[in-house]
Structure 1
């Protein structure tokens, strides 16, 4: 039986190679865009309390994630921080002394949680885990909170997700820190799969739609090119037989 390399002429084989590379590039693009440590939901109301989940995907094929450390912003300490237990993981919330005490319902608070560590569990390759934290009251004088995170793998590698968000129009950094956007009370965007498009700015919705169409178009083009190359090869093989 003839192999495809014998059936197809050099030009067709070259087209097939290009199609394969294009397909790999599309998959790689989608993987890279979704493989960061993130905070979900991505928005919360200023001055309120919220529950967020730090979503941690495993990015390595030959190692598991065995520890996550999340650093809460020291310049905006939170008076109330509690964590939800995760089966198989040990969690430790560490407090630090505050330079300026926080006023709360019970008077003044001189300490606050500044670091949360999850360890003892395992996130295998190709999987992710979410770590829930309840916190508040959130600041009222800023538009976002950045939570630097350290992801440790079973081979000893530590990836620091600590780069600030890019300026408008700039490329995303390699290791962006999880960021929670803070919006005025009553203006929090709907989140999740059931969110209405009315709550999403038109520009953002247009950008998302354009990206989806681009990726879809590339996928269709790659598939069509593959079918064309295959059909051409079969036609050539039959004409020679």
Structure 2
């Protein structure tokens, strides 16, 4: 019985982990874009501590993406940092109010053009909390604090007005499919564990 309980607990923890994979780290959407396309990039920042997030900085690899516009975010102000040539190399969002509280997340939107020869866009992010601590989301894939990466593929993307061109992939559909699949696997595992627990209970009660 104890072994069965352990299996059930492990399964439930796996379900929680799987459902939280997409939102645990600072991430930038879409996860895939077309070379030469104009995209809206969404920086999603979850709060992983019990104190507010009050500042977020994201660096833009100018050889791979040219950021040109920003959307206003209520409760936040932004600063576009430029190099000597006038290219935007990073953005700093600073809270004007309470910031991102525990259990919350915030999204910042930007727009830009994907490089014609880019193969990926690595978004290095720096998340500052109210106590002054900084979490650097700059590591490689699979690390504790990975930088979000947008894969870049050849082909048609979107025009300067954001309209899809022929062959453009739907990021929303892709994200929904991935999340649905992860939840499906976690749900199946939970059902199997509950079924095993029920069978064991029936045997014990005889």
Which segments of 5 or more consecutive residues in structure 1 lack a partner in the other structure? 1-11, 98-109, 166-171, 198-204, 237-241
CA gap 1:64/1:218 in 2 versus in 1, 3 angstroms? same
Query: Do structure 1's residue 40 and structure 2's residue 29 form an aligned pair?
Result: yes
Matches of 1:77 and 1:29, distance apart in 2:
30
Matched, 1:163 2:163: no
Aligned to 2:161: none
How many equivalent residue pairs?
193
**1:229 Cα deviation after fit:** 5.9
Summarize deviations over 1:164-202 as a string: whole Å, max 9, x none.
44xxxxxx22222122222322443112148998xxxxx
| Structure 1 residues 115 and 196: CA distance shift in structure 2, 3 A | closer
1:193/1:45 Cα in 2 relative to 1: closer, same or farther (>3 Å)?
Answer: closer
Which residue of the other structure, out of 120, 124, 134, is the alignment partner of 1:148? Answer: 124
Alpha carbons of structure 1 residues 21 and 141: separation in structure 2 relative to 1, 3 Å: closer
1:69 aligns to what?
57
Contact 2:124/2:148 (8 A) holds in 1 = yes
Q: Quick one: distance in 2 between partners of 1:44 and 1:229?
A: 50
Partners of 2:173 and 2:63 in 1: how far apart?
33
Q: Is the 8 A contact 1:16 1:229 kept in 2?
A: no
Match of 2:192 in 1: 221
Task: Show structure 2 runs of 5+ residues with no match.
Answer: 157-165
- Alpha-carbon spacing, 1:26–1:194, altered in 2? closer, same or farther (3 Å): closer
Aligned to 1:169: none
Give the structure 2 partner of residue 119 of structure 1: 94
Q: Deviations over 1:3-30 (max 9, x none)?
A: xxxxxxxxx3553344224322331343
TM-score calculated relative to the size of structure 1? 0.68
Task: Name which one, 1 or 2, has greater alpha-carbon Rg.
Answer: 1
CA distance in 2, matches of 1:195, 1:159: 25
Q: The residue matched to 1:146 in structure 2 has which SS?
A: strand
Query: Which residue among 89, 99, 113 is the counterpart of 2:76?
Result: 89
